[in-house]
Amino acid sequence: MFGAIAGRYDLLNHLLSGNIDQRWRRLVTRKLYEGLPVKARILDVACGTGDLSLALAEGGHAEVVGVDFCRPMLEIAALKSSKRRGDVPFLEGDALALPFHDSSFDGTTIAFGLRNLASVEDGLKELLRVLKPGGKVAVLEFSKPRWAAFRIVFNFYFTKVLPVVGGLISGSRGAYQYLPDSVSRFPNQDELASMMREAGFEEITYQNLTGGIAALHLGRRPRS
Ligand SMILES: C[S@@+](CC[C@H](N)C(=O)[O-])C[C@H]1O[C@@H](n2cnc3c(N)ncnc32)[C@H](O)[C@@H]1O
């Protein structure tokens, strides 16, 4: 499914979100770096076409690696990185069996990826495993708008308009129908925070973005 939409993925992300997605990614970067060492090692899991990985690498604050299991997505990420003269390596790998040793990274991120994994719990455990003790995780994901009136308007757009526009432009109606369907099955803000706690993270906080359309959850691997 992701391979089929890779070519139009960035265009549709920016179009369907009114470019808000870029603002959300910059926020992830800012929040993740608070309290992390300079030249931290960061792993961006389910990196797709690399927008978050490249935002994380901007300014040379960190050494960033992107990993995804979809080659067409990775090829676009690598092309974008080379155009920006970036040196982010984009590797093929499964988020449920990351090709890295335990305790390899100061930070791990996953943006709009966790929802797609066969097991959210196992995905969280992998994000924890590859983190160094004291390392930080950032999870950016669609969530549940907080206010009832806004939720009704947004749900109309998300379930009726977005699948049609996304389907027409990408040529894959299924992928853009899958998006609202998978978001409706995904845990809400508090449930995800509890799942992160159960997976072993501590210091979990979250913030709603754009009224709760998305949420950014942060957590840490315990120091001992
Ligand atoms: C909606 S895209 C998000 C891409 C990117 N993180 C972003 O913010 O635009 C979801 C990505 O998750 C990847 N993905 C889904 N399941 C995966 C898995 N088990 N292992 C690695 N990548 C996975 C897909 O290939 C796709 O690139």
Indicate if ligand 1 lies below 6 Å from the C-beta of 52. Answer: yes
pTM: 0.95
Mean pLDDT of 13-32: 91
Determine the pLDDT at residue 189: 97
Whole-angstrom distance, CA of residue 192 vs CA of residue 52 = 21
Decide whether any atom of ligand 1 lies within 6 Å of the 95 Cβ: yes
Q: Is 69 in the pocket of ligand 1 (CB under 6 A)?
A: yes
Consecutive H or E run containing 15: helix 2-16
Cα 41 to Cα 46: distance, rounded to the nearest angstrom: 16
> What would the pLDDT profile of 172-224 be if each residue is shown by its tens digit?
888 888 888 999 999 999 999 999 999 999 999 999 999 999 999 999 999 98
From the CA of 112, how far away is ligand 1's center (Å)? Answer: 7
Q: Is 43 in the pocket of ligand 1 (CB under 6 A)?
A: no
User: How far is the centre of ligand 1, averaged over its atoms, from the C-alpha of 10 (Å)?
Assistant: 13
Which numbered atom of ligand 1 lies nearest the CA of 25? 8
- For ligand 1, atom 1: residue with the closest CA: 112
**Listing from the earlier edge strand, what are the strands of the sheet with 40-45?**
90-92, 62-68, 40-45, 105-111, 131-142, 214-220, 202-209
Backbone angles phi, psi at 152, to 5 degrees: -65, -45
Whole-number pLDDT of residue 137: 98
- Compute the distance from residue 14 Cα to the ligand 1 centre, in Å: 17
Task: Kindly state if the Cβ of 29 falls inside 6 Å of ligand 1.
Answer: no
- Whether 189 lines ligand 1, by a CB cut-off of 6 Å, is no
Q: Are 70 and 90 in contact (CB under 8 A)?
A: no
Please list the alpha-helical segments (H only) found in 84-172.
Answer: 120-129, 148-156, 162-170
Region of poorest pLDDT, from 22-31, 71-80, 163-172: 163-172
pLDDT digits 0-9 by tens, 100-128 = 999 999 999 999 999 999 999 999 999 99
- Go through 203-215 and write b for each residue having 16 or more CB atoms within 10 A of its CB, e for each that does not: ebebeebbebbbb
Length of the chain: 224
179/8 Cα distance (integer angstroms): 15
Place of tokens 């050494």: 63
158 CB within 6 A, ligand 1 = no
Confidence of residue 140 (pLDDT cuts 50, 70, 90): very high
Beta-ladder partners of 111: 140
- For residue 52, the CA-to-ligand 1 centroid distance in Å is 12
The per-residue pLDDT for 14 is 86
pLDDT in the model for residue 65: 97
Establish whether residue 24 lines the binding site of ligand 1, counting it when its CB lies within 6 angstroms of any ligand atom: no
